[in-house]
């Protein structure tokens, strides 16, 4: 290392966001490169499944905050480094613009898109260079984000995160993942925190179920009101037979009454506790003793037994607590979900899955190994050297691809740095975006949480209706609460309206053009966000090819498919169009929940 670099390293202040798989390695590399002033932030605590790669943690650290333990481990190697650890979320209001401005460089080692988007905006606003990185199994990526020099993290639209319409989950599941989401919701209904978005009983509001000229009337057998599901469960003392008959017999019988649903679908078959318990095992699968218990697909009778057993165990665990939190690594919780998902799959004649596969889907598990993290973290710090010398042009994005059977070109660097997208709704000079919403049915509150927060990733937005100068959404408490339950058109937000949105924390102003839109098909999204009007056409043609085999594959993803999603093309064909469709997503990530949207 030459003298200017040594000096730059010794005097720089670095922020590492995340101390998981990549974060641990990055911290070690920084410490051994001569960095003296490091801050680290991570919200997570240490889990056993981290230990196969997050080498700053050991078994005795399980349950402790990652940031704190990582700091101690680095200090025990070199006590002379100044490290500050925050066990906190980077999206908290405590880490505003002035916090970010204190650093010479920010290194992301995150596991979810929302936090990545947020740090991207903070670094753009503070004009601090950011190195973004991630791994997923054998694949990985490192890229520099520097205002005015490179593209930002949000320049290229990313594929939307998987969501499922509520009525598909509650009424008409057709794939294993629908049953798995339902089973997780059932867990929360019985043992978890109450969440009205996670209802598991038949949805009588399903537009498809409505019969012309005939209103549905609630019938006694059909539905125990959501608020009292837990209460009823407690009244029957978590009796497994009664619970089973309610969810797998009575509710299914009620669904069958919504005849419209079953005109083109195979109707489900209600299942009683007695039938299920005495159902004969699927012998071909049972006798296959090669595979471990995890790999086997349980028979219906086994699922039923495990349902009863886990209800008993979870009931005990719940005693004295207000609720349980579902965790894929908690055995009874995971067993319960496996059993319920498979029982429901059986009822709807959907293929059943092994516990191992269900865990992958329910926990959204992305495989992770030490080797890929080590490579990526090394590249991150080498990029940081060049950034500190302001040698930005020498920081092209680098991709790691390990799966190719040609065993060539393990690391591939772009030929040059990527220019910013002039129409990016985050980093362009005048950020602008089109949104497509149903202005007659969407409430102001929904617009705030679903669009501004979830979709556009704002943290504390304010919105002013252009022309009228009226504040419709305010981040000040109490200021615009009266608008919450109003429909958009009731306060004058209609097709053609312009909203000036502003997030003070992110120092981010965005002009939002409203387009009235009503979903046509059942699978249409409830709303759409389009940064570049040219994309509209492209997006529609993609929608036209829906139900394609690739789509299906992605949903039933096992670990191989997850990797295929991240497969990158041959770097030798160095055109700039590659990779944009499939950026390695949510790397070293695992806890992003499967989302459900209400329909």
Partner 1 sequence: MSSPAPKSPEQTDKSKKYDRQLRLWGDHGQNLLENSKVCLINATALGTEILKSLILPGIGSFTIVDGEKVTEEDIGSNFFLESDSIGLSRAQVATQCLLEHNPDVRGDYIDESPEHVMSHTQDFFNKFTVVIATALPEKVLIPLSKYLWESNVPFVVCRSIGFLGYIRLQVKEHTVIEAHPDSENPDLRLLSPWRSLREHLESIDVALLDQKSRSHVPALVILFYYLTKYKELNGGLVPKTRQEKDILRKMIRDSPVADEGSIKLLEENFEEAIRYTNTCLAPPSIPHNVQAILDDDCCKNLTQNSPPFWIMCAALREFVECEETLPIKGSLPDMAADTTSYITLQQLYHRQAELQAEIIYRKASDIARDLGLPMDTITQNEVKMFCKHASELQVIRGSCIADEYERTRLDLSFYLEDPDSLMFYYVILRGLERFISEFNTYPGQFDDQVEPDVLKLKGIIGKLLSEWSCSQVLRDERVHEVCRYGGAEIHSVSAVLGGCAAHEVIKLITHQYKPLDNAFIYDAISSNSATFCL
Q: What angle do CA 52, 54, 58 make, to 5 degrees?
A: 80
Residue 189 binding result from Zn ion, partner 1, none, given CB thresholds of 5 to 8 Å by partner type: none
Asked if 433 is part of the footprint of Zn ion (rule: CB under 5 A), the reply reads no
SS3 498: strand
Residue 179 binding result from Zn ion, partner 1, none, given CB thresholds of 5 to 8 Å by partner type: none
303 carries an active-site annotation: no
Cβ pair 415, 496 in contact under 8 A: no
| Closer residue to Zn ion, CB minimum distance, 278 or 419 | 419
CB of 145 to Zn ion, least distance (A): 8
CA torsion angle 377 505 99 16 (round to 10): -10
Residue 236 binding result from partner 1, Zn ion, none, given CB thresholds of 5 to 8 Å by partner type: none
Asked if 90 is part of the footprint of Zn ion (rule: CB under 5 A), the reply reads no
Asked if 531 is part of the footprint of Zn ion (rule: CB under 5 A), the reply reads no
Pair of tokens at residue 92: 């908290």
Asked if 144 is part of the footprint of Zn ion (rule: CB under 5 A), the reply reads no
Residue 155 binding result from Zn ion, partner 1, none, given CB thresholds of 5 to 8 Å by partner type: Zn ion
Is residue 19 part of an annotated ligand binding site?
Answer: yes
Of 123, 167, 179, 501, which residue is the catalytic one? Answer: 167
Beta-ladder partners of 511: 432, 500
Stretch that binds Zn ion, among 394-402, 406-414, 422-430, 496-504 (CB under 5 A): 422-430
Q: What angle do CA 553, 555, 559 make, to 5 degrees?
A: 75
| Closer residue to partner 1, CB minimum distance, 118 or 355 | 355
Residue with tokens 């898109």: 113
Asked if 510 is part of the footprint of Zn ion (rule: CB under 5 A), the reply reads no
Is residue 22 part of an annotated ligand binding site?
Answer: yes
Instruction: Give the C-alpha separation, 513 to 498, whole Å.
Output: 5
Cβ pair 325, 193 in contact under 8 A: yes
Stretch that binds Zn ion, among 155-163, 408-416, 503-511, 524-532 (CB under 5 A): 155-163
Residue 411 binding result from partner 1, Zn ion, none, given CB thresholds of 5 to 8 Å by partner type: partner 1
Residue with tokens 């950026």: 583
Asked if 152 is part of the footprint of Zn ion (rule: CB under 5 A), the reply reads yes
Asked if 130 is part of the footprint of Zn ion (rule: CB under 5 A), the reply reads no
Asked if 123 is part of the footprint of Zn ion (rule: CB under 5 A), the reply reads no
Cβ pair 559, 487 in contact under 8 A: no
Write the CB contacts of 517 (distance below 8 Å, at least 6 apart in sequence): 436, 437, 438, 527, 528
Write the CB contacts of 404 (distance below 8 Å, at least 6 apart in sequence): none
Instruction: Give the C-alpha separation, 55 to 45, whole Å.
Output: 14
Asked if 155 is part of the footprint of Zn ion (rule: CB under 5 A), the reply reads yes
Beta-ladder partners of 465: 470, 499
| Closer residue to Zn ion, CB minimum distance, 424 or 463 | 424
Q: Cite the active site residues.
A: 167
- Footprint of Zn ion on this chain (CB under 5 A)? 152, 155, 424, 426-427
Q: Binding site membership for Zn(2+): which residues?
A: 152, 155, 424, 427
Q: Binding site membership for ATP: which residues?
A: 18-23, 42, 50-53, 66, 89-90, 111-116
């Amino acid at each position: 290392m030459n003298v200017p670099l040594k000096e730059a390293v010794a005097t720089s202040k670095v922020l590492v966001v995340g101390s998981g798989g990549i974060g641990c390695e990055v911290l070690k590399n920084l410490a051994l490169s001569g960095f003296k002033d490091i801050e680290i932030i991570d919200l997570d605590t240490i889990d056993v499944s981290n230990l196969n790669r997050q080498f700053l943690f050991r078994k005795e650290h399980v349950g402790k905050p990652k940031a704190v333990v990582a700091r101690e481990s680095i200090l025990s190697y070199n006590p002379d480094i100044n490290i500050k650890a925050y066990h906190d979320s980077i999206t908290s209001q405590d880490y505003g613009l002035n916090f970010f401005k204190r650093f010479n460089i920010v290194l992301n080692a995150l596991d979810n898109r929302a936090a990545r988007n947020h740090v991207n905006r903070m670094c753009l606003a503070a004009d601090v260079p950011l190195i973004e990185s991630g791994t997923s199994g054998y694949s990985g990526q490192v890229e520099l984000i520097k205002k005015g020099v490179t593209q930002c993290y949000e320049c290229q639209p990313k594929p939307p995160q998987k969501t499922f319409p509520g009525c598909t989950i509650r009424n008409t599941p057709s794939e294993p993942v629908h049953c798995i989401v339902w089973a997780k919701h059932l867990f929360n209904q019985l043992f978890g925190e109450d969440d009205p978005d996670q209802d598991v009983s038949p949805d009588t509001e399903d537009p498809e179920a409505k019969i012309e000229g005939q209103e549905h009337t609630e019938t006694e057998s059909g539905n125990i009101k959501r608020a009292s599901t837990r209460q009823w469960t407690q009244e029957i003392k978590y009796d497994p037979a009664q619970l089973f008959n309610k969810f797998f017999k009575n509710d299914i019988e009620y669904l069958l009454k919504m005849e419209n649903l079953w005109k083109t679908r195979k109707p489900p078959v209600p299942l009683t506790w007695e039938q299920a318990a005495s159902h004969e095992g699927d012998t071909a699968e049972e006798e296959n003793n090669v595979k471990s218990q995890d790999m086997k697909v349980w028979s219906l009778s086994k699922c039923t037994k495990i349902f009863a057993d886990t209800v008993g165990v979870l009931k005990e665990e719940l005693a004295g607590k207000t609720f349980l939190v579902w965790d894929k690594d908690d055995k009874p919780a995971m067993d319960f979900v496996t059993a319920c998902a498979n029982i429901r799959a059986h009822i709807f004649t959907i293929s059943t899955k092994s516990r191992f596969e269900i865990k992958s889907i329910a926990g959204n598990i992305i495989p992770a190994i030490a080797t890929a993290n080590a490579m990526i973290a090394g590249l991150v710090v080498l990029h940081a050297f060049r950034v500190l010398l302001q040698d930005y042009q020498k920081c092209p994005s680098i991709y790691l691809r390990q799966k190719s059977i040609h065993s060539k070109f393990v690391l591939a660097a772009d030929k040059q740095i990527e220019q910013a997208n002039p129409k990016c709704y985050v980093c362009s000079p005048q950020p602008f975006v089109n949104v497509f919403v149903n202005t007659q049915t969407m409430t102001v509150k929904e617009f705030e949480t679903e669009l501004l927060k979830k979709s556009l990733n704002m943290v504390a937005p304010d919105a002013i209706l252009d022309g009228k100068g009226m504040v419709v959404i305010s981040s000040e408490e109490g200021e615009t609460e009266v608008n919450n339950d109003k429909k958009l058109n009731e306060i004058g937000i209609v097709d053609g309206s312009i909203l000036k949105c502003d997030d003070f924390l992110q120092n981010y102003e965005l002009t939002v053009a409203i387009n009235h839109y009503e979903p046509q098909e059942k699978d249409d999204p409830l709303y759409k966000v389009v940064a570049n009007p040219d994309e509209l056409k492209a997006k529609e043609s993609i929608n036209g090819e829906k139900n394609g085999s690739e789509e299906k594959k992605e949903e039933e993803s096992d670990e191989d498919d997850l990797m295929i999603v991240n497969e990158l093309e041959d770097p030798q064909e160095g055109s700039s169009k590659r990779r944009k469709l499939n950026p390695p997503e949510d790397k070293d990530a695992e806890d992003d929940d499967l989302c459900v949207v209400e329909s």
